[in-house]
Amino acid sequence: MPVVATSVGGNHEVVIDGETGFLVPPAESSELARAILRLAEQPERRRKMGEAGLRRLGSHFALTEMLNRY
């Protein structure tokens, strides 16, 4: 599944805005709702973003990758 998150902390390292999900400004509930609705209304985009997110997690955040970085 794609991610909708606020653009704070390390979220920008995990979520690539428009590619693996959407990042919205903090404290902007209307932007958060808008991003969720965009995904709800576009199943093919939602699927592609979810697949891209899984690939990103596997290539950047898998346990072996994280251990190699340390």
| pTM of structure | 0.81
The chain-wide mean pLDDT, for the chain, equals 90
Where is pLDDT greater, at 36 or 70?
36
53-68 pLDDT tens trace: 999 988 877 777 667 7
| C-alpha–C-alpha distance, residues 24 and 49, integer Å | 16
Structure confidence at residue 59 (pLDDT) = 81
Asked whether 1 and 38 are in contact (CB, 8 A), the reply is: no
Is 32 a residue whose pLDDT tops 80? yes
Model confidence band, residue 48 (pLDDT cutoffs 50, 70, 90): very high
